[in-house]
Amino acid sequence: MTFIIGVVSQKGGVGKSTLSRLIAREYAAANWNVKIADLDISQGTSFNWQSRRLARGILPEIAVERFGTVDQALKVAGHYNLLIIDAPPHSTSGTLRVAKASNLLILPTGLALDDLEPTVLLAHELVKSGVPKDRLVFVFTRVGDSEAELLEARNYLAKAGYAALQHGLPEKVAYRRANDEGKALTETRFASLNGQADRLAQEIVDALQQVSEPEAA
C-alpha cells in the first residue's frame, strides 16, 4: 500500500521542504521505500538538497524527483511505500489536487499573523472543497524562545477551528547548516536538536497512522 503525505503552503519560506526532507529521512531510516516529489521546479529545493546528500554519501539514500504537475508525481506513487509531495507555494488547483490525493496534509506556518492568516485561509478553502478536516496537520516553524508568542499562535488556530502539533520546528543555525550539507533535521551535530526534530517526526508518523487506520480496517 502506498501512503501519500502532501506538504503545502500559501507562501514560501515557512519550512515546507525542510519538513518534507525530515519526514523522508525518518521513514527511509525505517526501511520504507520513500520518494520526495519536488513540484517547485523553479527552485528545486529538495532536489538540490538531494544532490548535496549524494555528493557526501549520506545514508539512507532518499529518492527525490522533480515533477511539473501533481498528476505526473502521482503516476509513480505505486512504486513506493511513501510519496511525499513537496508542493510549490501559493494556493492553486494543484494544491487542491495534492490535498485530495494525500492521506495526510501538512501545513507549515510561522507564528506571525503574516504566516498564520494565509495558512488558515488555505485550510478553510481546502475543507470547503471537500478535503476532510482530520487530514490537515498544522506544524509551527521558525519557532523562537517566546512561550507567549507560541501560545498566541495556538489560540489563533483554535479560534479558527484548528490545532497544531505539540512539537514545532525551532529556528536554529544548526538546522540550516544541516540542510546546507544535505542532511535532515535529525542529522545535526547536536543530540538535543536531533531529539527535538525526532519528536516532531514521530508526531507526524502517528498522525499518518491515525488517519490511515479507517481505510485499512
- Count the neighbouring beta carbons within 10 Å of the beta carbon of residue 149: 14
Q: Where are the domains of the chain?
A: 3-216
- What is d(CA 119, CA 108) in angstroms, rounded to the nearest whole number? 8
Domain 3-216 fold: Rossmann fold (3.40.50)
198: nearest Cα among 30, 67, 47: 30
Query: What does the pLDDT look like over 90-117, one tens digit per residue?
Result: 767 899 999 999 999 999 999 999 999 9
Q: Provide the pLDDT for residue 89.
A: 85
Query: What does the pLDDT look like over 31-56, one tens digit per residue?
Result: 999 999 999 888 889 999 999 999 99
- What is d(CA 206, CA 48) in angstroms, rounded to the nearest whole number? 29
Strands, E assignment, the chain: 3-7, 34-38, 63-66, 82-86, 104-109, 136-143, 169-170
- What is d(CA 63, CA 47) in angstroms, rounded to the nearest whole number? 9
